[in-house]
Chain A
Amino acid sequence: MVSKESCRNEIRAAIEQLSERCLHSAAKWAGEQLVGIEQDPSNFTPSNTRFQRGSSSIRRRFGTNESISTPLPSVGFSQAATPLPVEDEVTDGDLYHLAKSYFNCREYRRASHVLRDQMSKKSVFLRCYALYLAGEKRKEEEMIELEGSLGKSDAINRELVSLERELSAMKRTGAIDSFGLYLYGVVLKEKGNETLARASLVESVNSYPWNWNAWSELQSLCTSIEILNSLNLSNHWMKEFFLASAYQELRMHTESLAKYEYLQGIFSFSNYIQAQTAKAQYSLREFDQVEIMFEDLLRNDPYRVEDMDLYSNVLYAKEACAALSYLAHKVFLTDKYRPESCCIIGNYYSLKGQHEKAVMYFRRALKLNKKYLSAWTLMGHEYVEMKNTTAAIDAYRRAVDINPCDYRAWYGLGQAYEMMGMPFYALHYFRKSIFFLPNDSRLWIAMAKCYQTEQIYMLEEAIKCYKRAVNCTDTEGIALNQLAKLYQKLGREEEAAVYFEKDLERMDSEGLEGPNMLEALVFLATHFKTHKKFEEAEVYCTRILDYSGPEKEKAKSLLRGIRMEKTGFPSMDMEHFPL
């Protein structure tokens, strides 16, 4: 078990080193984790207490408090493997300071020029990094300038070639430090050489684990669990963060949650962990819990925009218009040109039924980030609402091409094709979506409905799908009812009775009533009567009597028939068994 104190010291040093190299986002991340560690009682400051009190409220509510006190499993982090690196150059030189300030003012090319003759590792890194960013900046500009009629954008970062050459030469001679390795990995990744990029990044994080940028680059290169498992990573508490986030990306939500819970033992107040936990919970469809977590998060960090699109999804699912509009307003004031903000506003309009406006905001989000997955999918949903299936299909397809594991988009594609009366074509897409999320009853039900359409009418297949849906704990209870009806239609009374009984049981336990209830009761009553199980039939008949309508009369006549048969003098039996 790592002591909190040692963690804290490591991070403090790391922040220093990271910001010294202008790796600002990594420094930011590290900073967030630093304040996430439970403070010593010794250096209490009023602001800290306020910060922590808010956070712990949720813990009390959900009783996860114990996890802090329980001793963590000793999957020991070997501290010795990664000693804190000592800064190699104490005197930075004036040029370095100048370059750094240029860099901070986003004058990247200037910064790299200043450092052109500096030979220290730190200077070399900053020079290369600045050059890389300059190239990226130019690339972004060119992308807009060169946009052709067919979406042509062959803009590339023109610095990549020279950077790769220089960094690989440095790597050969061993003159590269872990930050250089990180940059080398990034460059290789951009050039499409994923295996080498992974190797370089692994080397980087093994020698300097506190650079979250390197971890997240590495994570984006782990597209399957096999790749993830094949990585040779040395143990460090940063690895746990990495694994948690990688598991989440690979849709292994429970594993990811376990990791985060474990990490919370040290970083009890980390906003990052809280947001990630919320994300995982969202995927497990625990909306109530997620909502509370996000409310809490916003209370602590009111100007946060990251991950808030997820919160808006939750609010959308719960149809909380007011809360959603409040959130939209808030992020709008904070930073309106963030894709997340646009997405939240789009969600709001969608909930309000103003689909054109919603599409406009999703478009804006996509303008800001072309690879913003959820915006494509959500836009697809909007187009479906607007009955513009062609546009919907296009949007969904883009989402799928960005991330082929996006089951929502596959599902959307299936839905769109089904809407157009092409159920057989749609089946392929439903199958795809189920492949990525096999235990979601909604997907199975959608597929079953497809099989049930009169054009295909493959009822046996539909039954199979419904059965799978039942196994996946179908919350809406569609599957049971449908199964019973299908069996009834196929004339397989026994099976139908079984499923009607199950459905009835479910409705009873949830206290639901409605036409389905009545239907089940009538079927069961007649079924048991014809099979001469009068006790059961009577029970169901008396339940029907609670309702009014034609069924009541039917139940009465059924009851009469039952009594007749029970008394043993039915006219029919007389004939069959003459005394």
Chain B
Amino acid sequence: MAGLTRTAGAFTVTPHKISVCILLQLYAPSAQMSLPFPFSSVSQHNRLGLYLLSLTKSCDDIFEPKLEDLLNQLREVGEDMDAWLTDHLTNRFSSLTSPDDLLNFFNDMRGILGSVDSGAAQDDQIILDPSSNLGMFVRRCILAFNLLSFEGVCHLFTSIEVYCREAHSSSAQYDASNDNLESLIQHDQMDMEKYIMDKATEEIELQKNASGSVPFHLHTPEALFKVTEGLLVTRKEKSRTNMKKTEATPLACASSSTADDTLVDESLFLRTNYQIQGCLMEQADAIETHGSSLSSSSIESFLQKLQNLAPELHRVHFLRYLNKLHSDDYFAALDNLLRYFDYSAGTEGFDLVPPSAGCSMYGRYEIALLCLGMMHFRFGHPNLALEVLTEAVRVSQQLSNDTCLAYTLAAMSNLLSEMGIASTTSVLGSSYSPGTSTASSLSVQQRVYILLKESLRRADSLKLRRLVASNHLAMAKFELMHVQRPLLSFGPKASMRHKTCPVSVCKEIRLGAHLISDFSAESSTMTIDGSLSSAWLKDLQKPWGQPVFSQESGSRKSSTFFQFCDHLVSIPGSVSQIIGASYLLRATSWELYGSAPMARMNTLVYATLFGDSSSSSDAELAYLKLIQHLALYKGYKDAFAALKIAEEKFLTVSKSKVLLLKLQLLHEHALHRGNLKLAQRMCNELGGLASTTMGVDMELKVEASLREARTLLAAKQYSQAANVAHSLFCTCHKFNLQIEKASVLLLLAEIHKKSGNAVLGLPYALASISFCQSFNLDLLKASATLTLAELWLGLGSNHAKRALDLLHGAFPMILGHGGLELRARAYIFEANCYLSDPSFSVSTDSDTVLDSLRQASDELQALEYHELAAEALYLMAMVYDKLGRLEEREEAAALFKKHITALENPQHEEPNMA
């Protein structure tokens, strides 16, 4: 980070730096001594040295600690000589009574530096090598001081007074509870991400008792303990600690600033541009990771403070835009976005712009367009977004900004695929049409594909790794959902391969995940100086022990461990986010292809490894997937319990999908229990969600009407259900939702099956199977096969053999990956088949049937699916009756009755879920 260019005036002398200088003087007095006066051992001396090193490293950070924080830290470092150290520091400060003293002080500082030819130094003398880290620091301070005008010296002098006065006013409070370690808690640094560390603390406590003798470890547990405890304190006794919190982490500062008045301002010292940029990057990450759960007003007040300090730092406006974006304030977001680009012309702080290729005359307003387009997209104005992005394409072509073009194309394809604008050809008419002149005749899907390809090609040639990775992921998504067709097909002879290609999906996902290896090979050129220097500061917060500690205790929480790795290997947050996304996509693709364990595993990997670095909406998605899995495979009880946790965690996220999932689960549950009224209500609510003002979400709409049809089916209103399903199929066809088509067809087959019209059902089931085949939806295919078999059986018992064959073909898939309901259905059906087969005799082969039925009824118990359970028990009772096992028959019959009564009075035992 020292290698980066910095303007000469950027390094300014501040009171905090003077404190460090005073300590340095103690560390290396010019007198010839092997061990300077106050130190009793070499290790003590070394510890101060290490501490000073970390202080000098972190002094480039945007905020500097106040004197009292420094004193507190010193007390920990100094152990038995803490009083001496702190006293010396405060005394030295109070001896600075006039500007002249400052001048003399810096003259003295020269003395502790060794000469350049350090060979002349004697062995027992402690001198600072001028080119060492500490030496450099001293030299920079001296230089900066010498550059100051007299006014500058006066200002420094007044700020020292303020610096000391603040510490003095709070030290009185400190003295009162000096012996009480608890009071330290309030002074300590904190980090928002450490909220989760409660458990770790307990371990640390144990560790501390076990290995308390090692000097380093004495500090660490305490420090960590304080970190976590401090958080609790700030949450509860905010008013008390407000005034004394440090400004070390911007987040901490932001949270404390609400009650503090402007006095705090004076203690904030502004650092170089780079560090502020880094700090702002961190804030941006925080906004994205925590979503709207992070109080937007606290960030706002932090930004306000920063803007007061640096009115020309336009990046603040961008941060404010991000903040407003996440708190869904359209007008403020728009206003700040425009303001940012008006001021900075898009040239300040955008690392996607290669600085060399800047055409300074025109600015980079195409980036403004790109951002504006994405903003409109987020606020649900797809047509507006498309217009803006089209303009962005045009402008970036005009200014030959290929980087921006690649990003814009990616954004456009994302927009098109998300919104699925099929009918708005009027808008698309004016849109970008690379390569082909027949753009307007292409379908949206083809357009998305072309855009992605173009974006990928450009990104590849420009080596925009992150974009390449996310484009690969988008491509994988596309391949997953759409059959590849030739773009231009002539005549009937054109090859029509109606199949998706799982291999290419897998390939794209893998290509996307290559990003991480690229980054480890590329070293840390991508990281911003400032974020690194604040990483140093975070190290300081968990004083020096942590690296040692994390090596020794293997049982640390993986999240914190990963964070730690994060800044050692310096993988930027955006990279880990993309990689996390690849895992999520993997999970989704396995879900579609029908491998429950693989889907679950990938989701778990995501939730554990990337949960912290991801954006809150992605994390939410992972949680929801896991809950869905629970509901399908473990029954509703567990799922609802998990949902409760997720609700607490994610309800603040904008456009939260938690509510959607909740409605879905409640609907399923109601259907299974036969509570049709509740099911209908849930259905209506889902329909309400689908018509929100946030833009029309086709998937949600389809989901709502699919559920409506299923409710109608359960209410035995077959013709209405069929009507709904038919119109739904038309919608799916219109908007090219292939996968949904398959499930709608299956639903139609079900409807015909239930209405006793098996002949009509057969073609639907077959069509569904063929759809599933072309999209490789194995699980759905298995369940369609099951329905097909049921239909065959419905044609008459002479088809039982065929039905059984079909079922057995699908059995491995169903048993391996199917949910509880599907499996139970298969079991019952198998039993049904055997029973209706005239060549099958119950008396000889009763176990085949009974086993299946028992299995089925067990699984249905967990699901509370009364209707099917009753059916299974009925069959069981019949079989027992045939076998003459009366006792068991009675038992099954009793259970049967219980389920039937439950089904008939669903309201009776309705848990208060909604």
Contact = CB atoms under 8 A, between A and B. Distances in A.
B387 A424 contact: yes
Contacts of A159: none
Contacts of B643: none
Contacts of B388: 424-425
B329 interface: no
Interface stretch (A95-103, A223-231, A390-398): A390-398
B309 interface: yes
A154 B309 contact: yes
Interface stretch (A42-50, A142-150, A500-508): A142-150
Contacts of B338: 428-429
A148 B362 contact: no
A438 B623 CA distance: 51
Interface residues of B, number: 40
Contact of A421 (B151, B313, B372, B395): B395
A390 B339 contact: no
B309 A417 contact: no
A149 B9 contact: yes
B686 interface: no
Contacts of A152: 270, 309-312
B346 to A, nearest CB: 9
B431 to A, nearest CB: 12
Given A151-B312, A393-B345, A422-B369, A145 B363 contact: no
Contacts of B398: 421
Interface in A345-397: 388-390, 393-394, 396-397
Contacts of A429: 338
Most buried by A among B10, B149, B155, B391: B391
Nearest to A142: B155
B200 interface: no
A375 B376 CA distance: 34
B311 A413 contact: no
Interface string A195-234: 0000000000000000000000000000000000000000
A5 interface: no
B265 interface: yes
A455 B391 CA distance: 8
Contacts, number: 86
Most buried by A among B151, B308, B342, B391: B342
Contact of A423 (B149, B368, B391): B391
Interface in A123-148: 142, 145-146, 148
A435 interface: no
B430 interface: yes
Contacts of A393: 342, 345, 363
A457 interface: yes
A545 B10 CA distance: 77
B343 interface: yes
A454 to B, nearest CB: 10
A421 B394 CA distance: 9
Interface string A396-421: 11000100000000000100010011
A162 interface: no
B19 interface: no
A145 B151 contact: yes
A153 interface: yes
Contacts of A148: 270, 310
Contacts of A413: 342
B7 interface: yes
A316 B119 CA distance: 75
B181 interface: no
A425 B369 CA distance: 7
B38 interface: no
A397 B345 CA distance: 11
Given A397-B343, A457-B430, A150 B365 contact: no
Interface string B388-399: 100100110010
Contacts of A145: 149, 151-152, 155
Given A149-B10, A149-B273, A390-B345, A424 B391 contact: yes
Nearest to B10: A149
Interface in B166-194: none
Contacts of B152: 145
Given A145-B155, A150-B273, A151-B311, A455 B394 contact: yes
A422 B362 CA distance: 12
A428 B365 CA distance: 14
Interface in A492-513: none
A455 B388 CA distance: 11
A394 B345 contact: yes
A389 B151 contact: no
B361 interface: yes
Contacts of A420: 362, 365, 395
Most buried by B among A142, A390, A413, A457: A390
A396 B368 CA distance: 17
A152 B266 CA distance: 12
A455 B393 CA distance: 11
Contacts of B265: 154
B532 to A, nearest CB: 20
Contact of B155 (A146, A397, A455): A146
Contacts of B363: 389-390, 393
A398 to B, nearest CB: 8
Nearest to B149: A145
A422 B387 CA distance: 11
Nearest to A393: B342
Contacts of A425: 365, 368-369, 372, 388, 391
Interface in B250-273: 265-266, 270, 272-273
Nearest to B315: A150
A152 B387 CA distance: 38
Nearest to A454: B430
Most buried by A among B149, B273, B311, B334: B311
A394 B369 CA distance: 17
A389 B270 CA distance: 31
A479 B313 CA distance: 42
A207 B778 CA distance: 86
Nearest to A394: B343
Contact of A390 (B149, B362, B394): B362
A298 to B, nearest CB: 38
A422 B391 contact: yes
Contacts of B266: 154
A457 B276 CA distance: 43
A559 B742 CA distance: 70
Given A390-B345, A390-B363, A150 B311 contact: yes
B7 A149 contact: yes
B302 to A, nearest CB: 15
Nearest to A426: B391
A152 B313 CA distance: 9
A151 B334 CA distance: 25
B114 to A, nearest CB: 32
Interface string B125-159: 00000000000000000000000010110010000
Contacts of A396: 342
A150 B342 contact: no
Interface in B332-360: 334, 338-339, 342-343, 345, 360
Interface in A434-462: 455-457
Given A151-B313, A456-B387, 10 more contacts: A149-B9, A150-B276, A150-B309, A397-B339, A417-B365, A420-B395, A421-B394, A423-B391, A425-B372, A455-B394
29 contacts: A145-B151, A148-B310, A149-B7, A149-B9, A149-B273, A150-B276, A150-B311, A150-B312, A150-B313, A151-B313, A152-B311, A154-B265, A390-B345, A393-B345, A393-B363, A394-B342, A394-B343, A396-B342, A397-B343, A401-B339, A417-B365, A421-B395, A422-B365, A422-B395, A423-B391, A424-B369, A424-B391, A425-B388, A455-B394
The 3 A-B residue pairs with the shortest CB-CB distance in the complex, in nearest-first order: A151-B312, A397-B342, A150-B310
Interface of A: 142, 145-146, 148-154, 388-390, 393-394, 396-397, 401, 413, 417, 420-425, 428-429, 455-457
